[in-house]
Amino acid sequence: MNSFISIEAIARRFGAQPVFENLWLGVPRGSFTCMIGHSGCGKTTVLNILAGLDAPDDGVVIVDGRAIEGPSLDRAVVFQSHALLPWRSVLGNVAFAVASRWPDAPRAVVQARARAAIARVGLAGNEMKLPAELSGGMKQRVGIARALSIDPKILLMDEPFSALDALSRGTLQDEVRRICTDTDQTVFMITHDVDEAIYLADRIVLMTNGPGARIGEIVVNTLARDRTRADLHRQPGFYELRNHLIDFLVTRSAALRDTMPPGHDNRHPPEIRLTPPRSTQETPCAVNS
Amino acid sequence: MTLSLAARGAILSLLILALFLAAWQIAVSGGGSAPAMDPEYAKLMGQSAVTGHSAMPGPADIARGLWQALRDPFYDHGTNDKGIGIQLAWSVARVAAGWLLAVIVAVPLGFVIGMSPLLGRAFDPFIQLLKPISPLAWMPLALFTIRDSGISAIFVIFICSLWPMLINTAFGVSSVRTEWLNVARTLEVRPIRRALTIILPAAAPTILTGMRISVGIAWLVIVAAEMLVGGTGIGYFVWNEWNNLSITNVIVAILIIGLVGMALDQALARAQAAVTFPQ
Ligand SMILES: Nc1ncnc2c1ncn2[C@@H]1O[C@H](COP(=O)(O)OP(=O)(O)O)[C@@H](O)[C@H]1O
Ligand SMILES: [Mg+2]
């Protein structure tokens, strides 16, 4: 597999206790990857390393052929807590990112680009509002607009919708899916919502419990690519996929921490494709990459 | 009819003022015959002691004095007889000079201390030691080294303004939210731009709090400093009027000191409100 992002044998330790060791993961260009795992297993740590905000104790992460050495405008982050600058308007927040990406661009160009990004997340007309005047969902949209406005090669999102109510979470998922499939954006997103992962992700990375977490398996989403949130649960294979993920979170994530199955290779975690339900085979078959 | 809380508060304020003025008037207009007195001493004590009236002026005297002072605030009849406006201008100028010097030193230094945990620790013992020293204790040292009473007064204002601003700036800078700094990092914002566009606006409310505390302390200290060094200023004016036994002018000056202090505080409060952002 030719990976756009290649996580190679990274380890991160706080004190003596390793959060994870010898972690390998490849992310193909243009794919939407979701990482699922229990709280504290090290998902945020992985994402911070991808963002360059944290550095691994061992190993490297290669992006587009080059090792990560720190944060980069090529990798935009949508923070869980939106992290908007409260003294700047919606436009000011997005324009700050645009001006950072293109420092020599004329002011008018920066503003136009920022306005376009704001319109893309459905916030046109709110440019002059301060973050304090926005709802949680709107703030998160500004965070997404800010990240997308700089044309990043990779979009990194850490539980971006977890603080939102179900309704705004749904609309935001629709928008993110639309924008990301339209532009073939490479996305790495952390979530603890199984349905969100099924709807958005092409590949779902399942982490076992920490400390010493590993990638238990990678589930390839075989649902139709033109799925919508409304018809998601009618997609053939939806319940098999959902049950598989929940089964992993409820029982296998804990069991796998203590005893990995024989032949488990950290470098090549099993890649699971659930077969469509109409076919005769009902059991998942492991395909090694 | 129910009035707003603000209106009721204002009415009550006026009522308290009226009561206070009435009590004051009654207290000072008390009669009684003057006790037999050594004529020499009576001469020394002035007319009031002889006639049995209180030496304490009443509200009406103060109003008259205030009117006198404000009608021609800028007259200049020599060293010991200048209008209250001139004296106030001297004091405000000294406070402004010392305070601005302190801003120039404390804000950049506080920035550096706040950004570097190492320097923060290194400077901390000195700040803790120097902060509780009464600014007036520096006066002899200032007079000895600077050899100019006016500049010494400015130095004392500088010293007393420095600490609150330094401590607040360092605190504001060191407690900028990590997520805002992470935003700057992921956008590859250079250090100078980060300082001006992230750290400064984030710390501005705390810095302004320090500035406001400083200007309040500076206005308290200038009166005492000018009493010590003499020459000009509202502090010297108060002391001079005490020497002239003009209690009326002393009270007028006290009132005006309060009003100017209030104005300075309000100006900084406005500035503080302007840089405060809703969270
Ligand atoms: N700065 C830190 N110092 C010490 N321990 C940390 C730090 N950051 C994370 N950890 C620990 O590392 C583990 C993984 O954390 P995190 O990546 O935030 O988990 P997740 O995002 O999956 O909930 C947790 O046990 C957490 O306590
Ligand atoms: Mg997390």
Q: What ipTM does the predicted assembly reach?
A: 0.89
- Closest chain B residue to the Cα of A82, Cα to Cα: B179
- Distance CA(B117)–CA(B151), nearest Å, equals 35
Q: Which two structure tokens, joined as six digits, stand for A217?
A: 């398996």
pLDDT at position A211 is 87
Cβ of B182 and A53 within 8 Å?
yes
pLDDT at position B43 is 62
* Ligand 1 atom 20 nearest Cα: A40
Measured N-to-C along each axis, helices B84-115 and B234-243 cross at an angle, to the nearest 10 degrees, of 140
With CA atoms as reference, report the closest residue to A187 among A198, A177, A172, A174. A177
Burial class (CB in 10 A: 0-12, 13-18, 19+), A4: middle
A240 Ramachandran zone, left/alpha/beta (phi>0; psi -120 to 50): alpha
Q: Is A100 on the interface with B (CB under 8 A)?
A: yes
- Distance CA(A102)–CA(B2), nearest Å, equals 59
* Ligand 1 site, CB within 6 A: A 14, 19, 37, 39-45, 210
Long-range Cβ contacts of A23-27 (<8 Å, 24+ apart): A23/A59, A23/A213, A23/A214, A23/A215, A23/A266, A24/A215, A24/A266, A24/A267, A24/A268, A24/A269, A25/A205, A25/A215, A25/A218, A25/A269, A26/A1, A26/A289, A27/A3, A27/A186, A27/A188, A27/A203
Q: Are A52 and A75 in contact (CB under 8 A)?
A: yes
Residue A281 — pLDDT band, cuts 50, 70, 90?
very low
Q: Which two structure tokens, joined as six digits, stand for A19?
A: 């959060």
- Distance CA(A215)–CA(A208), nearest Å, equals 6
Q: Are A36 and A191 in contact (CB under 8 A)?
A: yes
Please state the rounded mean pLDDT for residues B24-39. Answer: 69
Q: Are B140 and B152 in contact (CB under 8 A)?
A: no
Strands lying side by side in the sheet with A32-36 = A75-78, A154-158, A186-190, A32-36, A203-207, A215-220, A271-273, A285-287
pLDDT at position A277 is 54
Q: Are A33 and A200 in contact (CB under 8 A)?
A: no
Cα-only R_g, chain A: 19
Average pLDDT, chain A: 90
Residues of A in contact with B275 (CB under 8 A): 87
Reply yes or no on whether the pLDDT at A276 is more than 90. no
CB pairs under 8 A between A and B: 54
Calculate how far, in angstroms, residue B136's C-alpha sits from the geometric centre of ligand 2. 54
pLDDT at position B51 is 52
A218 Ramachandran zone, left/alpha/beta (phi>0; psi -120 to 50): beta
Share of chain B above pLDDT 90, in %: 69
- Distance CA(A254)–CA(A269), nearest Å, equals 17
Reply yes or no on whether the pLDDT at A278 is more than 70. no
Strand partners, A6: A26, A62
Q: Are A187 and A239 in contact (CB under 8 A)?
A: no
Residue A97 — pLDDT band, cuts 50, 70, 90?
very high
Long-range Cβ contacts of B122-128 (<8 Å, 24+ apart): B127/B163, B127/B166, B127/B167
Please state the rounded mean pLDDT for residues A251-263. Answer: 83
Calculate how far, in angstroms, residue A40's C-alpha sits from the geometric centre of ligand 1. 6
DSSP secondary-structure letter at B86?
Answer: H
pLDDT at position B56 is 85
Please state the rounded mean pLDDT for residues B200-214. Answer: 97
Residues of B in contact with A150 (CB under 8 A): 187
Residue B230 — pLDDT band, cuts 50, 70, 90?
confident
Residue A267 — pLDDT band, cuts 50, 70, 90?
confident
Please state the rounded mean pLDDT for residues B223-235. Answer: 91
Measured N-to-C along each axis, helices B149-174 and B84-115 cross at an angle, to the nearest 10 degrees, of 40
pLDDT at position B38 is 65
Cβ of A85 and B198 within 8 Å?
yes
Measured at the CA of A198, the angle between CA A274 and CA A94, to 5 degrees, comes to 145
pLDDT at position B272 is 95
Cβ of B182 and A83 within 8 Å?
yes
Please state the rounded mean pLDDT for residues A68-80. Answer: 94
Q: Which of A18-22, A251-255, A259-263, B158-162 has the lowest mean pLDDT?
A: A259-263
Taking only the tens place, the pLDDT of each residue in A140-161 is 999 999 999 999 999 999 999 8
Q: Which of A225-229, B73-77, B176-180, B246-250 has the lowest mean pLDDT?
A: B73-77
pLDDT at position A280 is 45
pLDDT at position A7 is 95
- Distance CA(B53)–CA(A202), nearest Å, equals 97
pLDDT at position A80 is 86
Residue A188 — pLDDT band, cuts 50, 70, 90?
very high
Taking only the tens place, the pLDDT of each residue in B59-113 is 888 898 888 888 888 888 887 788 889 999 999 999 999 999 999 999 999 999 9
Reply yes or no on whether the pLDDT at B45 is more than 80. no
- Distance CA(B179)–CA(B176), nearest Å, equals 9
Closest ligand by atom to A159 CA: 2
Average pLDDT, chain B: 89
Long-range Cβ contacts of B142-146 (<8 Å, 24+ apart): B143/B229
Taking only the tens place, the pLDDT of each residue in A104-114 is 999 999 999 99
